[in-house]
Copies of this chain bind each other. A is one copy, B any other.
Amino acid sequence: MKRIIRLLIAYDGSAYCGWQRQRQGEVTVQATLEKCLHTLCGHFPTVHGAGRTDAGVHAQGMVAHFHTSVGHPLAAFSKGLNSLLPPDIRILNAQEAATGFHSRFSAWAKTYRYDFYTEPVMLPTHRLYMAHLPGAFDPEPARQALGQLLGTHDFSSFERSGSRDLSNPGGRGAVRTLMQAECQPMTQMAYGWSLRLQGDGFLRQMVRIIAGTIIEVGQGKRSPESVAQILAAKDRKAAGQTAPACGLFLEEVHYPFSA
Contact = CB atoms under 8 A, between A and B. Distances in A.
Determine how many copies of this chain the complex contains. 2
A127 B88 contact: yes
B121 A11 contact: no
A70 interface: no
Interface string A9-25: 01110000000000000
Give chain A's interface residue range (CB within 8 Å of chain B). 20 to 34
A162 to B, nearest CB: 30
A249 B125 CA distance: 10
Contact of A121 (B12, B92, B122, B124): B92
B87 A123 contact: no
Contact of A60 (B10, B60, B82, B123): B123
B188 A121 contact: no
A227 interface: no
Interface in A101-123: 121-123
A129 B130 CA distance: 14
Contacts of A249: 125
A12 B188 contact: no
Contacts of A48: none
A175 interface: no
A127 B87 contact: yes
A12 B90 contact: no
A98 interface: no
Interface in A176-223: 186-188
Contacts of A188: 186-188
Contacts of A90: 121-124
Interface of A: 10-12, 58, 60, 78, 82, 87-92, 121-125, 127-129, 186-188, 249
13 contacts: A10-B123, A10-B124, A12-B124, A12-B127, A58-B124, A60-B123, A88-B124, A89-B124, A125-B128, A125-B249, A186-B188, A187-B187, A187-B188
Q: When A and B form their complex, which 4 residue pairs have the shortest distance between CB atoms, in order from nearest?
A: A12-B124, A187-B187, A88-B124, A12-B125
Given A10-B121, A10-B124, A87-B124, 11 more contacts: A11-B125, A12-B124, A12-B125, A12-B127, A60-B125, A87-B122, A87-B127, A88-B127, A90-B122, A90-B124, A186-B188
